[in-house]
Amino acid sequence: MRGYVLRRSIWVYHLNTGACNGCDIEAIAALAPRYDVERFGVKLVGSPRHADVLLVTGPLTRQALSRVKRVYDMVPEPKVVVAVGTCACDGGVFKESPMVCSPLERFLPVDVRVYGCPPRPHNILRGVLEAAEILSRKR
């Protein structure tokens, strides 16, 4: 029952760590009424303390690093991290920049990666649902 409940009630907190806004537009499109994510129990929340899934977009800039760690600590266990976009997954075109400390998994345990520049909304939604599957198996 615990697994079913965790799979069917997925609250997502969206965190931009220096993205160009491309992934954010697609992520918000995925979570807006058009794709009706509410039918899967997915909901966008405004506080990391309410979240199950931390959806991260953008290359991890040095300025954002301490905030990202702080927000991650605020999400209650069990939790999963979804990296959305090539930048969040491996740094993308900003990989060699001295202002960027990507990839994200150097600092946070990333559970699902959704590649693309930007990824399409249905891919992001699939990533969130895969994250929910992982979440349901976490203790």
Partner 1 sequence: MALQGGVYQALLTALLFIYVFFAAVLVAGVRRKLRARLQGRVGPPVWQPILDFLKLLFKKPTAPSLANPVYVSAAVIALLASLAAAALVPFTRQHPLCFAGDIVAFFILLFAGEAVLVVGGLASGNPYSWLSGMRAMLIMMVRELLLAGALLLLYASTQKLSLVEALPAVPPAVAVPLALFFVAFALVLSMSTLFSAPVAETEVLEGYFIEYSGPLLAMAELSHWLLAYAPLALASSLFLAAAGALGLSWLAAAAHLLMLAAFSAVLAVLDAAFARLRIWGAMKLAAALLGALLALGAALLALKVGA
To partner 1, the closest distance from the beta carbon of 137 in angstroms equals 13
Nearer to partner 1 by Cβ, of 22 and 78: the residue is 78
Positions that interact with partner 1 (CB under 8 A): 1-2, 5-6, 8-9, 33, 36, 38-39, 41, 45-47, 49-50, 52, 74-78
**Angle (nearest 5°) at CA 80 between 42 and 131:** 55
Q: State the residue for tokens 């699939």.
A: 126
To partner 1, the closest distance from the beta carbon of 94 in angstroms equals 29
Nearer to partner 1 by Cβ, of 91 and 111: the residue is 111
To partner 1, the closest distance from the beta carbon of 38 in angstroms equals 5
Nearer to partner 1 by Cβ, of 38 and 99: the residue is 38
Cβ proximity of 27 and 124 under 8 Å: yes
Cβ proximity of 19 and 62 under 8 Å: no
**Angle (nearest 5°) at CA 1 between 108 and 4:** 55
